[in-house]
Amino acid sequence: MLTLVHHPDYLLHRPSGHHPESPERLKWIEEGLKEAGLWERALHLGPRPASEEELLLVHTPEHISYVASAWREGRRWLDLDTYICSHSYDVAKLAVGGVFRAVDEVCSGDERIAFCLIRPPGHHAEPDRSMGFCLFNNVALGARYAQRTHGVGRVLIVDWDLHHGNGTQVTFWDDPSVFYFSVHLYPYYPGTGRADERGGGPGEGYTLNVPLPWGSDDDAYERTLRERLLPEVERFRPELVMISAGFDAHRADPLSGMEVTEEGFLKMAEMVSEVAKEYAGGRIVSVLEGGYHRSALPRSAVAHLKGLLS
């Protein structure tokens, strides 16, 4: 069975004007899952807010304090792209806590696949700063939480958001217990994710970036996972698989320069599902990142979940 983590308070993080990262994104996905019959079949879990102590698993005290106090001190933007409102800090903690609930369920419950319908997204957030619509790094915190709370040794993070997850990379740069794999458009925001960025110190070789050119399609993404990820997985043998599930590489997405379709997201999810079954007891925690098109986003999310459940 599929576990869905969601909560109406995720809609409270709201821009004052037009912004691609809007509350409507979650509404679109919910509608799509209901139309596909996946909503009714799922186990539904609510999140809990992450504590400030738990945020310290990845983020610095100064960064946490900055986000917590920003609105009160009159700031409305944490960088050129990342807005906040009066609810943003609490919603961001609830997003992290949603991933924690998913990890709890997958690591100690009866279910093995969880999808976190959360926002704001997270993979651009570095330990000491917010950026790229992201306040805290949800997937990185989830990986650390799985290791600390559930004794998970090796975590694989697969990131196919259109943009490179610079925050996740920085977090685990020198850590051989987390393998970070990213396939993304390059050159593009945030400018990181070159093929020669492979980790450092004991973590060297545990970061794998596959930058793809503009216009890359389903075949390019599937070939990348098959030829670049799968050999590394055999060596790494993860105990938990996490996905930074961005759908903004879809050909219709307003931020995209790629040609990925729903079929591509389905195939990638099927491949990651096989990896989880082979090495991690089927345990997958998928975390929503980007995706901003009214119809392409829910269609891609439905395809993604069908692939994970295959």
120 and 91 in contact (C-beta within 8 Å)? yes
> What tokens were used for 7?
């909560």
CB atoms within 10 A of CB 1: 10
Distance CA 169, CA 161 (A): 13
225 and 241 in contact (C-beta within 8 Å)? no
Nearest-Å Rg of the Cα atoms of the chain is 17
DSSP 8-state code for residue 50: P
Distance CA 58, CA 141 (A): 6
Report angle CA 140, 34, 298 to the nearest 5 degrees: 55
Select which of 124, 184, 293, 304 is catalytic: 124
Distance CA 148, CA 267 (A): 32
124 is catalytic: yes
Distance CA 257, CA 189 (A): 12
Which one, of 76, 65, 206, lies nearest residue 136 by Cα?
A: 65
DSSP 8-state code for residue 72: T
Q: 251 by DSSP, 3-state: which?
A: coil
Distance CA 28, CA 288 (A): 13
Catalytic residues: 124
